[in-house]
Chain A
Amino acid sequence: MELIPVLIIMIPIFASMIVYLTDTKYSNNVVFVAQGTLSILAVKYFIEFEGLKEKHLLNLGNWNEVVSIVLRNDKISMLFIFLTILIWWMILIYIWDTKKRDSKFIFLLIFLEGVFLGLLQTNDLFTMFVFIEITTILSSILILYKMDGESVRAGLYYLLFNSVGMMFYLLGMAFIYYSEGTLNIDILTAKINIYQGLNLTNLSYISIMAAVGVKSAFFPVYNWLPKAHSAAPSSISALLSGLLVKSGLYVFIRINSMYGLETFREFFIILGIFTAISGAIFAVSQKDLKQILAFSTISQIGIIMIGLNQLEGETLGGIMHIINHGIFKTLLFLSGGAVVSLYKKRDVTKIRGLLKNYPLLSIFMIVGILSITGMPLFNGYVSKSIIKYGVYSKTLEYLMYFIDILTLTYFIKLSQIFFGEKNINLKNHKLGIYKKIPLYLLSLACIIFGNFYIPIYSLFTEASIKYINLFNISEWLLFGLKAAVAYFLYRIIVKKDYNFIKFLRRTNISFSSTNFLFILFITIMIIWKL
């Protein structure tokens, strides 16, 4: 019972090794058994420690706490662990039929799950570095799994840029070790004192935040994300967008609570606004289905950043939006992948007739679109309202309405695939049963999280969220007004496809300019501190 955190990490790793070494046709059953054991262990761990009201530490090897490896679980990490297990179940059911004999793919996928669960539980800066690097290497192999020209290029860009970013994490760690003498997060939380000026502790914070910025796609350094998420196979795209981008945000939450710094709060809110607006503008100009969804991920990360940097104790909106975004972005990518594999095209202006040919698939996709744009009765509305209640100035609230209108615009552009006539050529292509089950379960999760959020979130937090009213008439009217303005914007500007929009679609930044933007990012943070 005490060793459950270690078992949660080790069970997927052993199962993946068994699958790789014995290459039989029963590998799916091995994976099913391993994943089922993992879920039962996680639930049992949560119930046994009474919801983890205080954190649970597990010291490996019983060494002194200053130098040992400690695993730690509290409410936030349990929330992330449950989200991880849910999304991995969905991905495994989605690829049950098509990748049955492919033992290398299953090996990489299940190994990645074990490493990610290890990342969520560490209490130590160096083990966090090791797990992030292993995640980078494994996901870059998974991105270029198809081995055609575009995937290989995207995989190399992703690998090199993230590795350069993590070098700055190592630099910040060197500074902290020199001034404090330990690398344990609990001891450092009690020990760090922040003075003004430009001493070693502030420089270490800036370095680590630069590395976290590369990993979670902030404003100047997000160029790896559209290339990687649109060149990968569709199940891996769903995994990357739904979950692995959130690993950077998890490290952000941990490091912020460790330092307790106040000067950078406004900086990150402004950065979040820039990320959201630039992501939305680029998404409006794209024509490829997966590129629209990839840029929409960047835009939602901007909104999460605004939510996570409120005053102390009001960060529930950001964390709730992380969970909700994981669920509906996975739903959108999986159904988008099904559409691309059925029509064999990726251009939004050429695919037609989804509603008449595949009514069930289009219902799932409509549920996803309504969740992400924030319609009441779905889960996007809840988290966005909490974030909107928390901002402290009126201009920020109007900017968030503007971001909502842009989100609606590019999703109206995406929803032109629903209209059209019934096509006789596609009658032979049908959607398998294994692809329908995860879409159904994820849509159900969207609706449940949108209505019954109070009992679910009362297990994990003590903040009260009773002030959100689902049946307020003014909220419905506001949503209708935003949709009308977005449709107006779409008809006038986007449909004509001006030269400016064509220019935005074709910009490509080379690797050296991206690194230059990275150095600029660090310089701006140093100047802000002075």
Chain B
Amino acid sequence: MNPILSFIIMLIGIYGIVTSENIIKSIICFSIIETALILLFLNLGNGNHGDIPIILEGVKNMVDPLPQALMITTIVIGASTTALALMISIKIFHYYGTLEWDELLEREG
């Protein structure tokens, strides 16, 4: 159930990027694709529906803790890429006066 949900969210994000005309829309759709992939990764170890991965008494069936550790790094990378892209689009509005992709490639700075 859960992997199919994250595929649906990823397809929504890909559709958004293929038909977007605004820069901010492209950045938002990129963030949606990233969120969907993080959800997919976190669901991978969950096949046993086990317990939390901390050693206490009476815990037998643990969820895999490795994807959770890797995804912390991925969230930080995604946040910094989004922040940098937003800063560059502020500068683009300064120079070109528009935020649409088609007009951006036609005009001169």
Instruction: Judge A-B direct contact (beta carbons within 8 Å).
Output: yes
> Could you list which residues of chain A lie within 8 angstroms of chain B, going by C-beta atoms?
67, 126, 130, 133-134, 136-137, 140-141, 144, 147-150, 152-153, 155-156, 159-160, 163-164, 167, 170-171, 174, 177-178, 508, 510-512, 515-516, 519
Whether B81 and A133, one on each chain, are in contact in the complex, defined by CB atoms closer than 8 angstroms, is: yes
One of A156, A167, A508, A519 near B33 (C-beta < 8 A)? A167
Can you give 13 contacting A-B residue pairs, CB < 8 Å? A141-B84, A148-B95, A152-B95, A156-B88, A159-B81, A159-B84, A163-B30, A167-B37, A170-B41, A171-B40, A174-B44, A508-B105, A511-B26
B80: interface (CB < 8 Å): yes
Binding site for A on B (CB under 8 A): 10, 14, 17-21, 23, 26-27, 30, 33-34, 37, 40-41, 44, 66-67, 70, 73-74, 77, 80-81, 84-85, 88-89, 91-92, 95-96, 101-102, 104-106, 108-109
Query: Which secondary structure dominates where chain B touches chain A?
Result: helix
Mostly, the A contact residues are helix
| Cα separation A192 to B84 with both chains bound (whole Å) | 38
Contact, CB under 8 Å: B14 / A155: no
Task: Kindly count the residue-residue contacts between A and B in the assembled complex, taking CB atoms under 8 Å apart.
Answer: 89
B7 (CB) vs chain A CBs: closest residue: A171
Q: If the complex has contacts A137-B84, A160-B85, A167-B34, are A130 and B77 also in contact, measured as CB distance less than 8 A? A: yes
Task: For the complex formed, measure the closest distance between the CB of A67 and the CB atoms of chain B, giving whole angstroms.
Answer: 6
Residue on A nearest B23 in the bound complex, by CB: A156
Docked Cα-Cα span, A155 to B80, in Å, equals: 15
- List residues of chain B with CB within 8 A of the CB of A126: 70
**A509–chain B nearest beta-carbon distance, Å:** 8
Residues of the B chain whose Cβ atoms lie less than 8 Å from the Cβ of A137: 80-81, 84
- Cβ-defined contact, B104 with A153, below 8 A: yes
Residues in A whose Cβ lies below 8 Å from that of B40? 171, 174
Chain A residues in 8 Å Cβ range of B89? 156
Q: How far, in Å, is B20 (CB) from chain A's closest CB?
A: 6
Given contacts A508-B105, A510-B101, A516-B18, contact A155 B88 (CB under 8 A): yes
Given contacts A149-B96, A174-B37, contact A512 B67 (CB under 8 A): no
- The verdict on A515 contacting B17 (CB below 8 Å), with A153-B104, A174-B37 known, is yes
The smallest beta-carbon distance between A466 and chain B, in angstroms, is 48
Pick the contact of B85 from A67, A153, A159, A519 — CB < 8 Å? Answer: A159
**Whole-angstrom distance from the CB of A368 to the nearest CB of chain B?**
31
Of the candidates B17, B44, B80, B102, the one whose C-beta lies within 8 Å of that of A178 is: B44
Q: Are B44 and A164 in contact (CB under 8 A)?
A: no
A147 touches B101 (CB 8 A): no
Residues of chain A with a CB closer than 8 A to B34's CB: 167
Instruction: Determine the chain B residues whose CB is within 8 A of the CB of A511 once the complex forms.
Output: 20, 26, 101
In the bound complex, CA of A163 to CA of B67 (Å): 20
Partner of A512, one of B66, B95, B101: B101
Distance in Å: Cβ of B18 to nearest Cβ of chain A? 5
Give which listed residue, B84, B104, B106, contacts A140 with CB less than 8 A: B84
Question: Contact between A510 and B105 (Cβ–Cβ < 8 Å)?
Answer: yes
Q: Which 8 A-B pairs have the closest CB atoms?
A: A149-B109, A149-B95, A508-B105, A156-B88, A510-B101, A511-B101, A515-B18, A133-B77
Q: Which residue of B lies closest to A149 (CB)?
A: B109
Query: Is A160 within 8 A of B91, CB to CB?
Result: no
Please name all residues of chain B whose beta carbon is closer than 8 Å to the beta carbon of A136 when the two chains form the complex.
81
List 19 additional A-B contacts (Cβ < 8 Å) besides A148-B109, A149-B108, A516-B18: A126-B70, A153-B104, A153-B109, A156-B85, A160-B30, A160-B85, A164-B17, A164-B30, A164-B33, A167-B37, A170-B41, A171-B37, A174-B37, A174-B44, A177-B44, A508-B106, A511-B26, A512-B17, A512-B21
